[in-house]
Structure 1
Amino acid sequence: MSTENAAIANRDEEPARRAYHLNVVKQQIDEAPSWLVSLIVHVVLLLTLALMSAAPGVVGRIELTLQQDVDESTSDLAEFSIEPIELERPPSNELTESEVELETLAFAPQVELVSVVPRLETLDHWHPHVEIKFAEPTVSNMFRGRTGAMKQKLLKEAGGTATTEDAVLMGLEWLRHNQLSDGSWSLRGPYADGARNENRVGATAMAMLAFMGSGSTHRGGKYQKELWRAVRWLVQKQDSQGFMALDAAPHERMYAQAQGMIALCELYAMTGDSWIRPYAQSAVDFAAKSQSPTGGWRYQPRFDSDTSVTGWFVVGLKSGEAAGLEVDRYVWPKVETYLDSVSANRQNDYYAVGYSYKVGDARSPSMTAEGLLCRQYMGWRRNAPAMGHGLNTLAANHPIDVGQPDVYYWYYATQALHHFGGPLWTQWNEQLKVVLPARQIIRGKERGSWPPHNDAWGRHAGRLYTTCFSIYCLEVYYRHMPIYNHVPAGSTVGT
């Protein structure tokens, strides 16, 4: 028989073969005792009920003991068992703490919290077809003065001295000695005079910024090891939305978040280390999404604004731009709107050119310095009337006062005046480079730190806070490249 004929024969025999097997099965079922049929039915039923009632995850061991009471020949016990089976766990509707949706974060203890923060599309109430025009400040190379010959050049030109550098070094050594074993820092110790509240992310970011300001990174410099341990700790605190500060007190979380963003953006800008980029970008994205409809930031994402928290986020986002990260361009007109709402325009009145903490509050020196620094980063020209008038009023009416230390105000005023340059900066720096080194502890366990006792916020924020902010002030000569060319203060050239 040919192969083709054999195939045809097999095809023709297939229906007959199937019918034969069906008849055999039917006959076996008909001849089977009733107890066996009942057994099969009950086993199937019990299995179905077990699977339906078991909790998601693992089905445990099920034992069925069956006894036939009709036929003595089958009186032996029949035992079946089902071993545990791993089932795929369904997605949970509950979110872990580290993956809380942005809309559900409720951070503000000093305001009545809303139960649901409405979802805000980043761009929907802004008009993409409207061209945004700002005079861009020079921020693309803002960190390149921290090392080498450029650092020495800037230090000399801007008025730094060997004394200011010695103070910076002693301060950094104090920070190094107080780093915890996991790579982080604490606001509460192990040193004396810690803060009232713990904020590990904020403390770690502040210490990192002090080390980086002097030129170290996790890839090089005197404090490479300390920064490597710190950045590894910091990125582990970041969740999938870019948020890092869940463990801080509610009214301090957004401060810490912004400080952590600045640290990651600066470290990426200084090194170009590719593994840091996604963490820095995620923090930048969180900042844009958490911006309030009023244009700034405060204790709770997308809810309310104040100038203090907003200033940190502005610096962080500008650091992100300098690092080449993607920053939503519609952030900036909203910030401008907020800053306009807490400032005034009349030049004949100090309080009219100053800035307030919130809309409707009185203007203050620290918020004025912070607001003007934001304007500098966002593109105000040096010859803008409100810029010169505001800074002149600060320098004249609120100079550095050793009897009433306020490192928060000094920090922002020092930066804004340094960028502005000219006689105003020279006048300010003559006090700065003397007063701050003189206040530093130079002996004992806390050698290198700055005391918090009489500082405006020191008793609340603690010794690490006053030390870090004092270091920032003394690193100002090279910490950031000047936004404006240093031309005479009376010049009308806007650069």
Structure 2
Amino acid sequence: MRTIVQGMAACLLLVAAGAAGQENGGPTPYDKAMARGQKALAAEDWLTAAQSFGQALRLKPGDEEAAKAFKDAVKKIEVYNTRIDPLKGRTMERYGSTGSRDAIRDGLAWLVKKQAEDGHWTNTSPQPHAKDDLAPTAFALLALLADGSCEVEGEHREAVRKGIAWILARQQDGGSFGGATHYSEGLAALAVVEAFAMGGTDETFLAAQKSLNYVVEARCPKGGWVYQPSTQEGYGDVSVSGMMFQPLKQAQMVYLDFRYDTLLEFADWVESVTFESGEVPYRPGQAAPHHAPSLTAIGCLTRIYAGDTRETSPSLALGVDRVFAAKDQLRSHIYFLYYGTMLAFLVGGDSWRTWNEPMMEYLLSKQAKEGDDKGMIWDPEEYWAKLGYVDPVLFHSMAMLSLECCYRYVPHPMVPEEEPKEE
């Protein structure tokens, strides 16, 4: 059985005992967890503190003291410190390109200009079943969060505050944000989780926790997640599952509480549907033309995040090779560009260098340099744009996140950077 691997210490220990009291009158499990947390705080051991206060919060849900201590400890961990200067600048110099800084600045300014007064971004897609304002709002917020703005600080903090408030106002008792599809639900959950981790309010913390409960419960019994939130029948599909997996992975990184086995089980499911060739289908057993490099990129990302390596998994190694061999398609498929960029940065080395240059060249060539839409990145000839499933805000946000990729998340600790090839 694979183990979840991440750049921090062991995962949050979950406590089976739910009672906060003991008949013998001694320290309760809650008391012990709080004491461990306070001791860890004094030693500036932020990881242990987050684990301990998280245990206390699980034992006594809603406890204000435990909730505040947990959030304070998570802030100290600084999972997203690469998004803040000076580390952001150094990271961009090493992994990205200083030439993309102006493009990112202008692109974020365009996004903020397109935000409605109540905090949302409007989906202008002509496809009726794709018209859901939750998806573009969440994607736009992720682009702003990736650049270092959050609800309380950063150049675009007001836009983030309004956008998160709009999403939180939609949340239902079961944790859903009322999205038309699970694409929207996964994106919204990811935005709220990241907003919390970057210094969110108490309301954001509670909403993040509720959204994780929904994501876990919405999974199909046979594996993965399905497109429509109204059903859990049959098998999930890899495409929408990729969106629902991401908030769980980021929540794990900041010690939010959910059933971590969900990550392992999903990665096992992805491995089980992967063909020997390394290709990943849309749904189990489907043959071409349902294979797409974007799906293979999603599958590879999932498995690497769960601890698989190319050295120990032949199908993963073949899948990664297939993604990079298809890099010419990044100019015609925005989802492939988005997921492929994340995978290339995760793998690092030559894979990143040979991917990053054509990715930036393409996106910068599609950015408006003047006029009312200065900063917008949009390609109406892209596959999904022509079909009417992707509107300018969605396309632009994925482009922004791809340009920001080198500082959005820290490099994965279990993927050593490849050495440059000798000339």
From 130, 140, 144, the counterpart of 2:81: 144
1:393 aligns with 2:322: yes
Q: Structure 1 residues 234, 338: closer, same or farther in 2, change over 3 A?
A: same
Query: 2-side partners of 1:462 and 1:435: how far apart?
Result: 18
The structure-2 alpha-carbon separation of the partners of 1:409 and 1:484, relative to structure 1 and needing over 3 Å to count, comes to same
Aligned positions of 1:102-141 closer than 5 A? 133-138=2-7
- When residues 177 and 272 of structure 1 are mapped into structure 2, their CA distance, relative to the original with a 3 A threshold, is closer
Which deviates further from its counterpart, 386-395 or 133-142? 133-142
Measure how far apart 1:472 and its partner are.
0.7
Task: Give the corresponding residue for 1:302.
Answer: 232
Question: What amino acid is aligned across from residue 162 of structure 1 in structure 2?
Answer: T
Which one of 322, 338, 351 corresponds to residue 253 of structure 2? 322
Shift of 1:391: 1.9
Query: What is the CA-CA distance between 1:259 and the residue it aligns to?
Result: 0.4
Counterpart mapping for 1:95-244 below 5 A: 133-138=2-7, 142-158=79-95, 160-188=96-124, 197-244=130-177
Can you list the C-alpha shifts for 1:275-331, whole angstroms capped at 9, x where unaligned?
Answer: 311100000000111110121001234233000111111111011112221121331
Decide whether the 8 Å contact of 2:2 with 2:307 is kept in 1: no
Identity value in percent: 24
Cα contact 2:151–2:200 (8 A) shared by 1? no
The answer to whether residue 418 in structure 2 is matched with residue 475 in structure 1 is no
Q: CA deviation at 1:194?
A: 6.5
User: In 1, are the aligned partners of 2:2 and 2:306 still within 8 Å (CA)?
Assistant: no
Q: Is the contact made by 1:182 and 1:229 (CA closer than 8 Å) also made in structure 2?
A: yes
1:161 CA drift (Å): 2.1
CA distance in 1, matches of 2:4, 2:226: 27
Task: Find the structure with the greater CA-based Rg.
Answer: 1
- Distance in 2 separating the partners of 1:259 and 1:135: 22
In the alignment, does 2:269 pair up with 1:341? Answer: no
| Structure 1 CA distance for aligned equivalents of residues 265 and 4 of structure 2 | 16
Q: 1:274 matched to which residue of 2?
A: 202
Deviation sequence 1:180-218 (CA, Å, 0-9, x none): 111111111xxxx76654211111111100100101001
Separation (CA, whole Å) in 2 of partners of 1:243 and 1:448: 33
Letter in 1 for 2:104: V
Cα deviation digits, residues 366-393 of structure 1 (max 9, x gap) = 1001111111221223534443432223
Counterpart residue number, 2:282: 357
Matched position secondary structure for 1:148: coil
Distance 1:331 1:135 in 2: 11
Whichever residue aligns with residue 359 of structure 1, its letter is: P
Please state how far the C-alpha of 1:227 moved relative to its aligned partner.
0.7
1:449 aligns with 2:376: yes
2:317 pairs with 1:380: no
Gaps of 5+ in 2: 9-76
Aligned partner (choices 193, 201, 219) of residue 265 of structure 1: 193
2: distance between equivalents of 1:175 and 1:165? 15
Deviation at 1:488, TM superposition (A): 4.8
Residues 376, 163 of structure 1: CA spacing in aligned structure 2 closer, same or farther, 3 A cutoff? same
CA contact (8 A) 1:195 1:462 kept: no
Return the offset for 1:468.
0.5
Measured in 1, the distance between the counterparts of 2:257 and 2:93 equals: 35
Superimposed CA distance per residue, residues 206-237 of structure 1 (whole angstroms, 9 cap, x where no aligned partner): 11001001010010000011111111111000
Report the Cα offset of residue 401 of structure 1. Answer: 4.5
1:93-138 residue CA offsets vs partner (Å, 9 max, x unmatched): xxxxxxxxxxxxxxxxxxxxxxxxxxxxxxxxxxxxxxx6514132
Question: In 1, Cα distance between the equivalents of 2:328 and 2:175?
Answer: 37
Give 1:432 deviation, angstroms. 1.6
Verify the 8 A CA contact 2:151 2:161 in the aligned structure 1: yes
Shift of 1:141: 5.8
- Indicate the structure with greater helix content: 2
- For residue 373 of structure 1, give the secondary structure of its aligned residue in structure 2: helix
The answer to whether the 8 A contact 1:186-1:203 is kept is yes
Distance 1:142 1:313 in 2: 20
Q: How many angstroms apart in 2 are the aligned matches of 1:406 and 1:147?
A: 30
User: Residue 142 of structure 1: CA displacement?
Assistant: 4.5
Structure 1 residues 233 and 280, CA gap change in structure 2 (3 angstroms): same
2:367 is the alignment partner of 1:434: no
Q: For 2:6, give the aligned amino acid.
A: P
Q: Distance in 2 between matches of 1:257 and 1:157?
A: 34
Structure 2 distance, partners of 1:308, 1:153, is: 33
Cα deviation, residue 157, structure 1: 1.2
Match for 2:211 among 255, 266, 283? Answer: 283
Mapped contact 2:79–2:254 kept (Cα < 8 A): no
CA distance in 1, matches of 2:93, 2:219: 39
Q: Report the Cα offset of residue 273 of structure 1.
A: 3.4
